[in-house]
Each structure stands twice: as structure tokens, then as C-alpha cells.
Structure 1
Amino acid sequence: MSELMQVITLAIVQGLTEFLPISSSAHLILVPLLTGWRDQGLAFDVAVHVGTLFAVCFYFRQELIRLQAGFWRSIQGKPSRFYSKLAWQLIIASFPIALVGWLAHDFIATTLRSPLVIACSTISFGLLLLASDRFSSHSKLMGQLRWKDVLIIGFAQILALIPGTSRSGITLTAGLGLGYNRATSAKFSFLLSIPLIVLAGSYEGLKIIRSPDPVAWSYLAIGILFAAISAYFCIKAFLGLIGRIGVLPFVCYRLALGGILLFMFW
């Protein structure tokens, strides 16, 4: 397969898996590993994450305008009842993973990126997601988000640093476990991805700028485009279906993927 087709394939994989509870990082590690493709490198990884950022920001563009207005109203001492609080909740929930990710970045990048780690986390956190959905009351809505719950979701998000966990999966698990309905848990998870992708992309982007290595800008642009398109339609489909189909299809996929990896690499 040509390098261009590899770039497009990996970008679509990133776009489809970033917001599904199946772990995008695991797939970006596994696809080249299983196909024998060369690692596209840090610049490509940053580019496809930028693509997913464009997608989630475009999908929630009206929400983001209200969140931004609510944030500045709170700074001015005139907070809105809902959006000012939600804006600060998203900021506070992002702190734990930002701090731990910065401190443990090298350990995660070198030690945890093995197929067996991915297999075990894919299976175990898939089962945890199923249990969380099964025993959730599904009764709480976005307007009922408490600060204690936000902190729990924020600290749970740290587990997403383990490849195979899934950032959207673990935040969805936490939200459901706290009694929020599927739509609320998924929406808060997607909104929570925005500050995280901005922070991680900025941190890794600085490395690219400082690196003397050449950058294939045309391939990066293609990666951004295809990741953005696939991520947008994935978000739209997931939010439209999650209330009806639940998490079982994603858990089954995780169990199958984890089982195959254990069989291949044990």
C-alpha cells in the first residue's frame, strides 16, 4: 500500500476511534504493528489529533460559544447559571490528566506501548464499562453535574494514559457509574476532550517546531482533513445512537480485539 493510502487509513482510524470507547491510541499503535507499516511519527500523531479537535469543536460550536461567554461572565463576576459553571468544570476536570501526563510522558511512551498492555487494558476496561452501564441509574442530566463528580471523572481520565483504556471510554464509564445518563456522559466526555487535545497538541507541537527533522506538510494536511471528517460523522452517529444501543457493541469489540491480541502476543 502506498504511503499516501497509509496516511489516509490511519487518519480515518484516528477519527473513528478517538471518540468511541475503544481507544484511538491503541489502534494507532496496533495498525502499523500488525500491517508492518512504518511509524508515521510524532508530527502525524499531532496532526490527526488536530483533525479530531477541529471535528469536535465544529460539532459543538454553539456550545463552545456559550461556554466561552459563560467563562468570561464568571471572570467579570456575572456568572451565568449553567455555562459559567460548566466551563469551569471542564477546566478543573482537565487538570489531573494534564499534570500526570506531563510528569509520566516518557514512561508511558516507552514502557506501556506493548501489545500485551493494550490487550489487558482493552479487556479489563471494557468489562468495567459494561458493568458501569449495567448498574447505572441513568437518571442524572448535565445540569446536575456536581463538583465532586467532575473531579472523579477528571481523575478517572488519568487511566486513559494507559494505551488500550480509551479516554472517551473511561470518562463514559465514570459518568455512567455516577448515575448520569448515556447522552450526558458522552457529551461531557466529548467536551472534556477539547482542553486535553489542545494541551497535548501544543506540548507535542513545540517538540516538532524545535526538531531539526523535516516535516511532510502535505501528508499532515491530508491526515488532518480525513481525521476531521471521519471524527465529525463518528461523533454525530455515536451521540445519536448511544441512548438506544448502549455500550454492549463496543464492549464486545473490545473483548474480541483484546482476545486476538492475547492470542497473537502472549
Structure 2
Amino acid sequence: MPNADILIMAILRGVAEILPIDPEAHFALLARLFCWAAVDHMAAAAGFIGLLLALLVYLWRDVLQMTRSLLRILRGKRDPGGALILHLLVASVPAFVITFGLRGLLDVTLREPIYIAVLLVAFGVVLYVADQAGLTVRRMHQMNLVQALIIGVFQGLAVLPGVSRIGIVITVARTLGYERPDAARFALLLSIPWMLASALYSFWLGIAARQMVDDERVLLTATISGIVGFLAIAFLMYWVRRGSFTLFALYRVALGGALIYALYRMPELVCS
């Protein structure tokens, strides 16, 4: 994949991993539309590292609070702040099991453009309905283990290109009655272990494929993904404090609908 394509993917990853519009759908569509056959796993790992750093920087207060709580727990002291750590753990485990258990099976069967387009539209509609119909009665500190587990199980659906990991967490949280900023914040916190695991997984795939590490390209990818990701985080939190998730739902429906139309009217656009 040429360096220009790597840069495009780094920018896209920084935006689509954070906003509820799904990165995998965009990557799969670009690969099919522009015939990008090779996947640079090392660059993908660098992109995840950049986004991980962006999340840690933006959410430093939550990260510091959880670190202090964990240290108190390890010293045998009770700490109310440890509930957030427990909820993130409970929500992460089923998501990891479902995602990595089904990834190999679904990589081929559900990466056709028509399936991606349908999922983009369907979960755009679901996001809109959940956001508009969901009550706004809960804050993140009111979460319990059952709700965290429900979010984690549904997060596993993000293995399907077109669903969006951030998007499905926000959708379920809004359905459970959490306020928009709290739903987005929990989704971002839940992304921290996911980014770390994805970076390690991509690095392992790169080693298995015997891909060489280009230090300059990896550093550039991590830097661009991190900067763009930080800006995307700031925009998401700014937006949801003042508005709804309708903007993102409309984008998903518009993109999916345009793709369905293109596939129907101009099927030759997609590489075979």
C-alpha cells in the first residue's frame, strides 16, 4: 500500500474509531473501491497506539482516578472509585470473547459492500431511535454490573463491519437511560483496553505476515492518528453536550444509502 494510502487510513482511523460511524466499514469499502489488496498491520498497530495515547490524554482525570483506586484496592483498602474499573472490566470481557471468537469467521462472509451498506443504515437508524427515545435519567456513577454486562455483550456486535464499537456502546447506554455525555464518555473509556488489545493484535499479525517495520512511517501514522483522534474526541464530547447523536445517524444512513444506490446502478465501481 503506498504511503499516501497509509496517511489516508491514519486520518480515517483517527476519525472513524472515535465517532460512531464505524472504521471497519470505511476501511473495507476503501479497499474494495480502490483495490487496496495489502494490509499494513504494523501501520494499523501504530494507529491504535496513537489513538490510545489520545484517549489517555483527553481522559486523564478518569485514568488518574482509576489508577489511584486500583492502588488502594491492591493495598487492601476499599475504594468507591473502583466501581468504574469493575464496570469497564465486566463490559470488556464479553466484547473481547465475541469479537476475537468470530473475527476469523466473519472477515470473509460479511465484508461484501452490500452487507456493510445495510449495516451502516440499519445501525444508523437504531442509534437515532435509541437516542431520541432513550430517557435521560442516569449518570455513569449509577451504572451496575448487569448494565455493564449488557453493554459488553452488545459491544461484541462491533465485529460486524458497519456497526461501530463506539456507536453500539452509545446506543445501548442511551437505551438504558444514560445521559448523552455519560454514554459517550463510557464508550471512550471502554475504548482504552480495546485500543491496546487491537494494537497488540495488529502487531502480532504483522509479525506473522513478516511485515517489515518502517520506523518513519509507523511514527507518522501514530502521530497523525493520535492528533486526529484527539480532535475527534474533543468534537464528540463538545457536540453531545449541546446536541444529539442525530448528525452521526444521518451520516451513516446517507453513506450506506449512497453505497446501496451505487452498487445497484454502478456495480462495476467495486473491485472483484
1:167 aligns with 2:165: yes
Of 88, 91, 96, which aligns to 2:89? 91
CA drift of 1:28 comes to 1.7
Uncovered stretches (5+) of structure 1, i.e. residues with no partner: none
CA drift of 1:137 comes to 1.1
1:175 maps to a residue whose letter is A
Quick check: 216-225 or 137-146, which moved more?
216-225
Q: Distance in 2 between matches of 1:215 and 1:231?
A: 23
2:48 maps to a residue whose letter is H
Uncovered stretches (5+) of structure 2, i.e. residues with no partner: 265-272
Q: Is the 8 A contact 1:186 1:239 kept in 2?
A: yes
- Counterpart residue number, 2:269: none
- Counterpart residue number, 1:75: 74
1:30 aligns with 2:29: yes
- Counterpart residue number, 1:240: 238
- Counterpart residue number, 2:267: none
Q: Secondary structure at the match of 1:78?
A: coil
CA drift of 1:211 comes to 3.9
Quick check: 171-180 or 107-116, which moved more?
107-116
Of 228, 231, 236, which aligns to 1:230? 228
Q: Distance in 2 between matches of 1:42 and 1:35?
A: 18
Q: Distance in 2 between matches of 1:206 and 1:17?
A: 23
- Structure 1 residue runs of 4 or more that deviate by more than 4 Å after TM superposition: none
Aligned length: 264
CA drift of 1:80 comes to 1.8
CA drift of 1:43 comes to 2.1
Q: TM (normalized to structure 1)?
A: 0.93
CA drift of 1:38 comes to 4.8
Q: Equivalent pairs: percent with the same residue? A: 29
Q: Is the 8 A contact 1:122 1:257 kept in 2?
A: yes
- Counterpart residue number, 2:113: 115
- Counterpart residue number, 2:254: 256
2:199 maps to a residue whose letter is G
- Counterpart residue number, 2:270: none
Q: Is the 8 A contact 2:134 2:174 kept in 1?
A: yes
Q: Is the 8 A contact 1:71 1:88 kept in 2?
A: no
Q: Secondary structure at the match of 1:104?
A: helix
CA drift of 1:39 comes to 3.6
Q: Is the 8 A contact 2:42 2:211 kept in 1?
A: no
Quick check: 173-182 or 87-96, which moved more?
87-96
Q: Is the 8 A contact 1:68 1:87 kept in 2?
A: no
- Counterpart residue number, 2:154: 156
2:27 maps to a residue whose letter is L
CA drift of 1:37 comes to 4.3
Q: Distance in 2 between matches of 1:88 and 1:195?
A: 13
CA drift of 1:139 comes to 1.6
Q: Distance in 2 between matches of 1:15 and 1:213?
A: 23
The alignment yields a C-alpha RMSD, in angstroms, of 1.7
